[in-house]
Structure 1
Amino acid sequence: MIFSSIARAIEDVFRPGALKILALGVGLSVGLLLLVTVLFTWGVGAITPDDFTLPFTQYHIGFVDDIASLATIGLMMVLSIFLMIPVASAFTGLFLEDVAAMVEGEHYPDLPQIRTFTLAETIAESLRFLGVVIVANLIAFTVYFFILPVAPLLFFGLNGYLLGREYFQMAAQRRIQKEQVQALYHKHRWMIWTTGALMAVVLTIPVVNLVVPVLGAATFTHLYHRLTGQVPRPRVIRSA
């Protein structure tokens, strides 16, 4: 069920009607990562002296701030692998409604109408989720250094839990009440966690990770409907 949901989602994000959403998601993700990199590099350059005198010598090293800025850019390229987790979190709510509507229109056309969320509700939910992800990962980073051999397992386990829980709840609460969402989540929490962990793994793959905000929304929309017994419309095989 997990892999069939992901396979359908991959097809969905590259449909002509979904490419606009995908392009917007990739553009916003790249823009946010560039903004963070520029601000961080500027901050390092602002606090780094222009030159440096080696201790106990008269030898000066010039352009220290430029060297530090270049090193910072390299560091941010590495850190972008981890920064994609909060980036995906920030855009989850923004993309989910459009992606879910596209998925349901294509695969589950007979569903009843839903209550759409207002822009304020969507932004508030995205910011709340972003805050949870950032705080949880900052706490986890203080632990990683003491458990280096198993740090990747903790990273994927933690973010798999966070991404899976939030993506699933956002997809489900479009259709059912919060109490029903919680009951369904607890019943299938291990499957949801595993799906979230797979999303977290993909988020660490440069370039590919840019499509995850949209891919995740499509995947968990499919997963929700599969768990509630909805059968997707069969694929239409078009002859050449």
Structure 2
Amino acid sequence: MLNAVLTSLRDIPTPPFRAVLWKSIGLTLALLAVVWIGTFAVADYLVAMLPVEWQTAADWLAGLLLFVGLGFLVAPVTALFAGLYADEVAEVVERTRYPTERPGVSQSLMIGFLSALRFTGFVVLVNIAMLPLLFLPGINVPIFLIVNAYLLGREYFEQAAMRFRSPEDARVFRSAHSGKVMLGGLTIAALLAIPVVNILTPLYATALMVHVVKLAERQDRA
């Protein structure tokens, strides 16, 4: 598992990954910027409706809440883009790291996007439910890591596994190797928690889970 993590991190800046890397960064930043601008405009409108003496404090509070909220949005945005370039990243990993093995079969763009959209909605709901935990120091970070490790690990592993098996078989395969999936998910969630660097999460997570799938397959054959 450690080798899979280190290999995935080393591969990110290499030439085969760069095109996907820039698309990943561009799409993530673009969507987060749109959300920020739109939400800030709404907040400004609401603050302007308050009495003048409350507006300065309300501006500060709104800015703080928006900043925190945007941090929680990174997880669902990451999940959304997983369906857009998961196959492209997986193909690069399979071609460069497993050239002698049978390549996977890509899903159609629409199927991948709809699957990611469905999962994104679920991640949004879960992270909204977790927002009150922000005010509980000592348990907020561990819970954030554990919940997102499970959710993102499951999603990225099944995306990689479905290149070789049906969705139902991918879920069964994931359940059979839940320990490895959770461990890999923890490294994804840890990267997700690092500001700025977390925009690399989709690229790293997809590459990592291709390696985890290959590792799990080798163990099943042993």
Calculate the TM-score normalised by the size of structure 2. Answer: 0.88
Tell me how far 1:12 sits from its aligned partner.
1.8
Which residue identity lines up with residue 133 of structure 1 in the other structure?
A: V
For the residue of structure 1 that corresponds to 2:107, the secondary structure is coil
Superimposed CA distance per residue, residues 140-170 of structure 1 (whole angstroms, 9 cap, x where no aligned partner) = 335x268543222221111110001110001
C-alpha separation in 2, matches of 1:152 and 1:11? 27
What is the aligned partner in structure 2 of residue 165 from structure 1? 154
C-alpha separation in 1, matches of 2:67 and 2:135? 24
Confirm or deny that 1:203 pairs with 2:192.
Answer: yes
Superimposed CA distance per residue, residues 60-115 of structure 1 (whole angstroms, 9 cap, x where no aligned partner) = x49x37x7556544543343332211111111111210000000000111233443
Tell me how far 1:208 sits from its aligned partner.
0.7
For the residue of structure 1 that corresponds to 2:194, the secondary structure is coil
C-alpha separation in 1, matches of 2:62 and 2:182? 34
C-alpha separation in 1, matches of 2:58 and 2:81? 31
Q: Is the 8 A contact 2:153 2:182 kept in 1?
A: yes
Q: How does 1:51-90 map to 2 (within 5 A)?
A: 52-53=51-52, 61=53, 64=55, 68=58, 72-90=62-80
Q: How does 1:228-239 map to 2 (within 5 A)?
A: 228-229=217-218
Which residue identity lines up with residue 116 of structure 2 in the other structure?
A: S
C-alpha separation in 2, matches of 1:47 and 1:76? 14
How high is the sequence identity, in percent, across the aligned residues? 27
C-alpha separation in 1, matches of 2:131 and 2:60? 24
Calculate the TM-score normalised by the size of structure 1. Answer: 0.82
Q: How does 1:114-129 map to 2 (within 5 A)?
A: 114-129=104-119
The 1:194/1:75 distance shift into structure 2, 3 A limit, reads same
| Structure 1: unaligned runs, 5 residues or longer | 54-60, 231-240
Q: Is the 8 A contact 1:172 1:181 kept in 2?
A: yes
For the residue of structure 2 that corresponds to 1:28, the secondary structure is helix
For the residue of structure 1 that corresponds to 2:211, the secondary structure is helix
Larger Rg: 1
C-alpha separation in 1, matches of 2:83 and 2:101? 21
What is the aligned partner in structure 2 of residue 18 from structure 1? 17
Q: Is the 8 A contact 2:24 2:199 kept in 1?
A: yes
Structure with bigger helix share is 2
For the residue of structure 2 that corresponds to 1:228, the secondary structure is helix
Q: Is the 8 A contact 1:159 1:196 kept in 2?
A: yes
C-alpha separation in 2, matches of 1:106 and 1:7? 15
What is the aligned partner in structure 2 of residue 183 from structure 1? 172
Tell me how far 1:138 sits from its aligned partner.
2.0
C-alpha separation in 2, matches of 1:82 and 1:103? 29
The 1:116/1:206 distance shift into structure 2, 3 A limit, reads same
Superimposed CA distance per residue, residues 109-134 of structure 1 (whole angstroms, 9 cap, x where no aligned partner) = 12334432112101101101101101
